Amino acid sequence: MNNDSIRLKAEKALEKVRTYLQKDNGDIDIVNISDEMELTVRFVGACSHCNINYQTFKFGVEPIVREELPEIKTIVAIDERNNPYNFN
């Protein structure tokens, strides 16, 4: 499977979360899918500085992506300045 088809699957998977984020004036974007199958996403809008984006990531984004795209090995979330969130 090539990166374009993986990106389409990732976009479709994130749509399941995106609806809720957009209701709160936020969103999530795919920044990159590396050859090593690392998915990098960015919280934008209100989600970029929301104090519960950890929960959104851990209980929304991660499980959905892992279920829909088992080929993705790592999921990383970055802020608007490209700094990774420390969700560990």
Helix (H) or strand (E) holding 62: helix 62-68
3-state helix, strand and coil shares in percent for the chain, rounded to the nearest 5: 45, 25, 30
What long-range pairs does 25-28 form, CB within 8 A, spacing at least 24? Answer: 26/50, 28/61
For the sheet containing 74-78, what is the strand order? 26-33, 38-45, 74-78
Average the pLDDT over 60-81 and give the result: 93
pLDDT digits 0-9 by tens, 5-63: 999 999 999 999 999 999 999 999 999 999 999 999 999 998 888 888 889 999 999 99
* pLDDT tens-digit map of 9-25: 999 999 999 999 999 99
The pTM of the full predicted model, rounded to 2 decimals, is: 0.90
| 3-78 homologous superfamily | Fe-S cluster assembly (FSCA) (3.30.300.130)
Q: Phi first, then psi: what are they for 34, rounded to 5°? A: -80, 165
